[in-house]
Amino acid sequence: MATPQTSAQVPVTVLTGYLGAGKTTLLNRILSEQHGKKYAVIVNEFGELGVDNDLVVNADEEVFEMNNGCICCTVRGDLIRIIEGLMKRKDKFDGILVETTGLADPGPVAQTFFTDEEVKARTRLDAIVTVVDAKHFLGQLEQGDEAEEQVAFADVILLNKTDLVSPEELKKVEDRIRSINPYARLHRTEKSKVELDAILDKGAFDLNRILEFEPDFLEHGHDHDHEDEVTSLSITADRPVDPDKFQKWMGAVLQIKGPDIFRSKGILAIDGAPRRYVYQGVHMMMDADWGQPWKEGEPRTSKLVFIGRNLDGDNLERGFQDCLK
């Protein structure tokens, strides 16, 4: 299929976070700072932003299910429409920011950028940024799945309102965040104050930059308080991967566990291939491609990462081992 000829794809940053975490403050900061760049902002509550900017677009989070029988394949149709509409403007922008409501699951937003060919031709998902309220996060975890899932999806986390908690409390919150998602870049902030290059143009979904997203911290033993809690898991292997077996196994994993797997990524040393095979996905949707070549003498280590709910580490580990030569 011929995709329309377009100039460079516009990066899209998804901004998520629980009610009152500081998303609006962050957006106001981005819109009012003198950075010489132009951002279109897609918000849910028109008028909440103090900045009068004609590049602020109001959206209703209109989610629909794809007719493909996959229960977690939900997509934001309003985003498809708005992005196409924005592309009709003469004035182009350096980026698009999509704010989700405090109780939204970031899945449908991210999946929109995996499914719609026209959106893919014009934009690229850059990163999911989650703002966390240091004072209320632990309490929000008790109120439902949203706060936890927003952290699970994140590429970048702003641990905000750090001035409202003691150092001990802050440590506790940070540890909890790390137990859910040790891979996201974490920035401690007050009043959402952060350098814009810490959150924009991160290339978190760029298959060529997957290597940059290594955990900030060494993984420590996760304390499993609840059965259904969200955790991360990484598996490594030094023997080459059989591509057919891997595809079959991964397909089955996503088919069964897709709704529970928020993010997954991996670098594979395929048997006999000179280049890395890299992939990343959201729920059941996945992008994959050949990445950088292996250097001479470099250890060809494959690495898989999952962030999800009820991850059965032993089972996944065993399944992956069966895909090795």
Contact residues for other proteins (CB under 8 A)?
1-5, 46, 54, 57-58, 60, 62, 64-68, 75, 77-78, 80-81, 85, 87-91, 116-118
Name the residue nearer to other proteins (CB basis): 58 or 247.
58
- The least CB distance from residue 2 to other proteins, in Å, is 4
Name the residue nearer to other proteins (CB basis): 58 or 321.
58
**Residue from 61, 71, 75, 15 nearest 260 by CA:** 71
- The least CB distance from residue 285 to other proteins, in Å, is 15
Name the residue nearer to other proteins (CB basis): 68 or 166.
68
Name the residue nearer to other proteins (CB basis): 76 or 263.
76
**Contact (Cβ atoms closer than 8 angstroms) between residue 159 and residue 151:** no
Name the residue nearer to other proteins (CB basis): 118 or 260.
118
- The least CB distance from residue 27 to other proteins, in Å, is 16
Name the residue nearer to other proteins (CB basis): 6 or 292.
6
Whole-angstrom distance, CA of residue 55 vs CA of residue 96 = 9
**Which residue in the block uniquely carries the two structure tokens 């991360």?**
232
CA distances from 88 to 42, 61, 84, 250 (A): 16, 21, 7, 39
**Residue from 85, 95, 82 nearest 36 by CA:** 95
- The least CB distance from residue 260 to other proteins, in Å, is 24
Count CB neighbours of 144 within 10 A: 11
- The least CB distance from residue 114 to other proteins, in Å, is 14
- The least CB distance from residue 42 to other proteins, in Å, is 12
Dihedral-angle region of residue 281 (phi above 0 means left; psi in -120 to 50 means alpha; beta otherwise)? beta
**Contact (Cβ atoms closer than 8 angstroms) between residue 140 and residue 130:** no
- The least CB distance from residue 60 to other proteins, in Å, is 7
CA distances from 13 to 65, 78, 312 (A): 23, 16, 31
Name the residue nearer to other proteins (CB basis): 69 or 274.
69
